[in-house]
Structure 1
Amino acid sequence: MATKTVVGGPSEVKKATPEVQKICDEVKPAAEKKTGKTFTVFTAVSYTAQIVAGTNYFIKVDVGGDFVHLRVHRALPHAGEKLQLHGIQTSKSQQDAIEYF
């Protein structure tokens, strides 16, 4: 059964894909800078997406037994599809729901 993403609303939570892991890999240095930590493990677990003027990704990331939630914005293609880390929540658990922040 196909699911739809409503413009402006978040998608259902999905298992992380190789594309989402690539996004995490690209923003990892910014996440380390914002938290003042170095992450030896930075593995995307799950995510939800919100279509806006581009796409907001809310990603749950395993950082070695602890978890962080990332809010990453990808601009529209005509804007160069640059990724920006807009926020990070630390001290999350595997059970914590991914929510808008």
Structure 2
Amino acid sequence: MTTSSNESLFRSSFYHITANKLVLLGVLLLGIIGASMAAEKKRMGGMTGVTSLDNGLVSDEEKNLIQGLLDKVKPDAELEARRKFEELTPVAYATQLVNGVNYFIKANTGGTGDKRYVVIRLHKSFGGDVTVHSIQVDKTEADPITYF
């Protein structure tokens, strides 16, 4: 082989190896981007599973957060429901990450002998403002929390 054919073979091999590396890098980057987009879809938009506040697995801090949200919106929720609530005690909730967080909170509205429930959908902005979006009344303890 001559020197020029050796150079030609080297250049050809170099470009072939470099092209393979670039293709591999492109595939790797597309995989990373696809995985991050899939993870983002799981975090944004869909409701989480329902969390029961009666199962002993929820921290006091979390319970206080949910009760605090209900305390903030109770007057507006009563207006929306067109009745007064003797109490508004959360029993379960789900969340949805949007431009802030939507909370779907099932709460007992009666005294100890009255098992009347509502599900309140409220929105907490990233700035901390809490507003009632909508409410479902005349729910039972067995009614599931669903998107509305």
What's the TM-score, normalizing by structure 1? Answer: 0.88
Match of 1:45 in 2: 91
Alignment of 1:34 onto 2:71:
no
- Alignment equivalent of 1:11, drawn from 37, 48, 51: 48
Match of 1:73 in 2: 123
Alignment of 1:95 onto 2:142:
yes
Match of 1:25 in 2: 71
1:18 is displaced (CA, Å) by 1.4
Work out the CA distance in 2 between the residues paired with 1:27 and 1:63. Answer: 13
1:34 is displaced (CA, Å) by 1.3
Aligned-pair identity (%): 36
RMSD: 1.1
- Structure 1: unaligned runs, 5 residues or longer: none
Query: Counting strand residues as a fraction of each chain, which structure ranks higher?
Result: 1
Work out the CA distance in 2 between the residues paired with 1:13 and 1:33. Answer: 26
Letter in 2 for 1:15: S
Larger radius of gyration: 2
Question: Which SS does the other structure have where 2:119 is aligned?
Answer: strand
What's the TM-score, normalizing by structure 2? Answer: 0.61
Question: Which SS does the other structure have where 2:43 is aligned?
Answer: coil
Count of matched residue pairs: 94
Work out the CA distance in 2 between the residues paired with 1:75 and 1:45. Answer: 23
Query: Counting helix residues as a fraction of each chain, which structure ranks higher?
Result: 2
Work out the CA distance in 2 between the residues paired with 1:13 and 1:35. Answer: 23
Work out the CA distance in 2 between the residues paired with 1:68 and 1:48. Answer: 14
Alignment of 1:59 onto 2:109:
no
Letter in 2 for 1:10: M
Higher relative contact order by CA 8 Å / sep ≥ 6: 1 or 2? 1
Structure 1 runs, 4 residues or longer, greater than 3 Å off = none
1:15 is displaced (CA, Å) by 2.4
